[in-house]
Structure 1
Amino acid sequence: MREILGDLGLFRDRRFALLFAARTISMLGAAFAPVALAFGILDLPGATATTLSVVLTAEALPMVLFMLFAGVLADRFPRQRVMQFGEWANAVAFFTLGAMLLSGWTPLVGLVAAAAFSGIAVAALYPALTGIIPEVVPPERLQAGNALLGLGANVARMGGAVLGGATVVLVGGGWALAVSGALFATAGVLISLVRPTPLVRERGERHSVLKDLREGWREFSSRQWIWVVVAQFSILVMAIQAGHGVLGPLLAKESLGGPAAWSAFLAGEAIGTIAGVVVSLRVRPRRPILVGTLLCLPAALPYFLLGTGSPLWLTVLGAFVLGVCFDVFGVLWMTTMQREVPPESLSRVSSYDALGSLMFGPIGLMLAAPAAALMGVQNALLACGGLVVLSTCAALLSPGVRNLRAPARLEAVSS
């Protein structure tokens, strides 16, 4: 109990409290978006699963393409400012999407353009967030700081999944997207108030973007545990994008009960991530990357349950298990990167991490609708689960994944 109270003492630091509030509100806005966008698009006259795939791909593709440049920006400029841009750009994108749905003027090219701008905004956020946390949180509290930030994000995901679904049912997807925009704008204001400890950057010759990228690649590729898990996640995220983005909502609309059922699924996942925070606050495994990778195996469970026609309550339970495992993995992964990678390269390495992990996501979104038409929605979901298991087992063959050890003082805590 004393250790937990000590971790909660981070909230006495104004910088951490502001970062926590900004991240939580931003994730609440993001949690509104999947249900609102999926069912808002599917409810448009003449819209099909292909329409949804096109819009979601338009969001995912620029996010992947812009990610490396965003990492360079976050290592060159104050990460706080890069995050502000990301939050406010997201606000503009979602206000635009909401206005289009509310007005009834929804040309596909307009939806695609707004979704693409959102993808660029999200790309700006991730590398800067990874890098700014060590500028706000003391080194010995990094895992606790990551876990608490995850707690706020997870509570927001749960609340957003429920409130987003309710908003879609009561007043439609357009209003839910407008709420998302307002939340992103608020997060941007809070980020502007954070005053992180500035990163000491060496003075000297200004490097080109390409040289910065090469240096970041050297840091990334020299660590086997990083690039192997990133390769694993490139396949795993492809499966999750297809399952969560298109196939799951499609099955929910066809046979599970529509947006309310899919909101329940997402809420079950969000509750699982909250439970995962309790674990991630205290667990200190000797081999954090090995434990995190093993925790990816249960991520296949909800897809196997959906694919076999299991009842809704059981699929929600499977989503809960996925949430627990992914939350613990995320905290172990981010904390290990922040400890092992030099601070001046951290955002670039995290951008390579995000790029590699997300690069096949658009392919999953593009293939989801044809796969559903070719083999049926349930069989396509089973294939998603199979990809999760196969990619994880392949990653476990790596010595770097199995053998990387936490610092000695953390091993003592876990013993």
Structure 2
Amino acid sequence: MANPLKQRPFRRLFLGRTLSLIGDAVIPAALALALLRTTGSASALALVLGCAMVPKLLLLPVGGVIADRLNSRTVALASDLVRCVTQLLAGLQLMRSDPSIALIAAAEVAGGAASAFATPALSPLVGGTVAAADRQRANSLLATAGSVARLGGPALAGLLIWAAGPGWAFLLDAATFAASAALLLSIRVAHVPPPKRSFRADLIEGWVEVRNRDWYWTSLIAHGIWNLTAAALMVLGPVIAVRSLGGEGIWVAVLQSGSIGVLLGALLAGRVRVHRPVMAGNLAAALYALPLVALAVPAPAPLVIGAYGVAMAGLGFLGPVWETTVQNTIPEHALARVISYDWLMSLGTMPLGYLFAPLAADAFGTGWTLTTSAVLVGGACLATLAVPSVRRFVTEGAPHHASTEQKAAAT
């Protein structure tokens, strides 16, 4: 695999994406601290976070249609400009002595809506700037940049808040979106528009592309269950760490181990060519059962920390491998719509995990809930291996041209 950073269009895309990832990584910590400092209310934080998530979930399929109809570069550029403005407005509010929670929430609604268009546009951008043989390396580089940003984001947020106040973290994020937009202006991306038809027909066609591929929709079910159980771990894990494993510091160590694991997994994905990518990715995803079991026992803190790191390394490996497989297999004119359904499935199950995990823990116990979650995620990921098209799917060198075996398995 050649280094895609040697290709000017991808190099600029990578730089813009990396800058915006750094800005985004600062926001969760800055937002939490800013709102708690200003209002002292966890409800205000939940409101603002919900305002960003809900429109993104509702508009993802719409964003997929628009990104397929228009050039993905145009959609990503417009999304960056909108998010630049929303973060600028939120930052200016937080720099006031009496910031308006309503205005900040409204800015997050607009930012979440813009994200629904930006998310499905990224994969066509990669596909349009990188040759098929180099896409796994390109996706690995993007995933690695995201992992590094998540590792350093909280520390950078803390430094900004300590030195200048939380509003400056949002101004930094706005600046990164402006820089990303400027870099997108300087590149060209090939675009294959779909045939002209109604909006509803475009939505249906995107879903048909998913439904007609057994390896895709069965893997999406497993990935959705992965996110469901990940939400359960995020809700119940801190409680176990504080009560049984040694305190808040242990939970911080668990999360840091996960961040390092994602980074290592993404680096590995950039260095190996996987012959059976769908099967390998789902096996990597099944590793998430390990920390769920470790917390259910609960195992000693070092084992929990290590298990979570291994599980998240599986996620870091899965991401680039899966994205490359999708980019090289789904027709270009439908790629953004297919990606939007992919993200909808992944993000849509997380609120269910947040809601039902504490209810199940109260009714049946935390250990039972986490053990059941481990069985669910391990069983779902391993069960995909029973699907012939998952086992038979092999890496091809050219995009959008499946082998005879793959064509037979995918229909």
Question: Percent identity over the alignment?
Answer: 32
Q: 2:16 aligns with which of 22, 25, 39?
A: 22
Deviation at 1:143, TM superposition (A): 1.5
Go from structure 1 to structure 2 and tell me whether the alpha carbon gap of 1:36 and 1:371 turns closer, same or farther (over 3 Å shift): farther
Aligned-partner SS, 1:146: helix
Deviations 1:47-83 (A, max 9, x none): 23x5544433332221111111111111111111111
2:329 alignment counterpart: 340
Go from structure 1 to structure 2 and tell me whether the alpha carbon gap of 1:217 and 1:335 turns closer, same or farther (over 3 Å shift): same
**Partner Cα separation in structure 2 for residue 188 and residue 313 of structure 1:** 43
Deviation at 1:30, TM superposition (A): 2.0
Aligned-partner SS, 1:268: helix
Instruction: Give runs of aligned pairs for residues 268-279 of structure 1, distance below 5 A.
Output: 268-279=257-268
Deviation at 1:284, TM superposition (A): 2.4
**Partner Cα separation in structure 1 for residue 105 and residue 363 of structure 2:** 25
| Partners of 1:53 and 1:365 within 8 A in 2 | no
1:11 alignment counterpart: 5
Deviations 1:310-357 (A, max 9, x none): 676655444432332112111111111111111111111111111122
Unaligned runs of 5+ in 2: 400-411
2:214 alignment counterpart: 224
| Partners of 1:292 and 1:333 within 8 A in 2 | yes
Does 379-388 or 217-226 show the bigger shift? 379-388
Go from structure 1 to structure 2 and tell me whether the alpha carbon gap of 1:150 and 1:92 turns closer, same or farther (over 3 Å shift): same
Q: 1:143 aligns with which of 132, 136, 144?
A: 136
Deviations 1:21-67 (A, max 9, x none): 0111121122222333344445554523x554443333222111111
**Partner Cα separation in structure 1 for residue 101 and residue 364 of structure 2:** 27
Do structure 1's residue 83 and structure 2's residue 76 form an aligned pair? yes
Does 210-219 or 81-90 show the bigger shift? 81-90
| Partners of 2:133 and 2:397 within 8 A in 1 | no
Do structure 1's residue 164 and structure 2's residue 164 form an aligned pair? no
Instruction: Give runs of aligned pairs for residues 190-201 of structure 1, distance below 5 A.
Output: 190-196=183-189, 198-201=190-193
Go from structure 1 to structure 2 and tell me whether the alpha carbon gap of 1:90 and 1:318 turns closer, same or farther (over 3 Å shift): farther
Go from structure 1 to structure 2 and tell me whether the alpha carbon gap of 1:75 and 1:278 turns closer, same or farther (over 3 Å shift): same
**Partner Cα separation in structure 2 for residue 58 and residue 381 of structure 1:** 29
Report how many residues are paired.
398
**Partner Cα separation in structure 2 for residue 386 and residue 162 of structure 1:** 35
Opposite residue 275 of structure 1, the aligned amino acid is L
Opposite residue 96 of structure 2, the aligned amino acid is S
| Partners of 1:269 and 1:320 within 8 A in 2 | yes
Go from structure 1 to structure 2 and tell me whether the alpha carbon gap of 1:331 and 1:363 turns closer, same or farther (over 3 Å shift): same
Per the normalisation by structure 1, the TM-score is 0.81
Does 101-110 or 186-195 show the bigger shift? 101-110
Deviation at 1:400, TM superposition (A): 2.8
Q: 1:392 aligns with which of 363, 381, 387?
A: 381
Deviation at 1:293, TM superposition (A): 0.5
**Partner Cα separation in structure 1 for residue 27 and residue 251 of structure 2:** 13
Opposite residue 124 of structure 2, the aligned amino acid is G
Instruction: Give runs of aligned pairs for residues 256-271 of structure 1, distance below 5 A.
Output: 265-271=254-260
Q: 1:113 aligns with which of 106, 116, 126?
A: 106
1:58 alignment counterpart: 51
**Partner Cα separation in structure 2 for residue 54 and residue 343 of structure 1:** 37
Aligned-partner SS, 2:147: helix
Deviations 1:217-262 (A, max 9, x none): 2111100111111122222223334544x5567778899776x876
Go from structure 1 to structure 2 and tell me whether the alpha carbon gap of 1:322 and 1:306 turns closer, same or farther (over 3 Å shift): same
Go from structure 1 to structure 2 and tell me whether the alpha carbon gap of 1:235 and 1:309 turns closer, same or farther (over 3 Å shift): same
Q: 1:153 aligns with which of 133, 136, 146?
A: 146
Opposite residue 201 of structure 2, the aligned amino acid is K
**Partner Cα separation in structure 2 for residue 95 and residue 250 of structure 1:** 35
Unaligned runs of 5+ in 1: 411-415
**Partner Cα separation in structure 2 for residue 86 and residue 373 of structure 1:** 42
**Partner Cα separation in structure 1 for residue 283 and residue 75 of structure 2:** 34
Per the normalisation by structure 2, the TM-score is 0.82
| Partners of 1:66 and 1:120 within 8 A in 2 | yes
Aligned-partner SS, 2:395: coil
**Partner Cα separation in structure 2 for residue 76 and residue 406 of structure 1:** 28
Opposite residue 36 of structure 1, the aligned amino acid is A
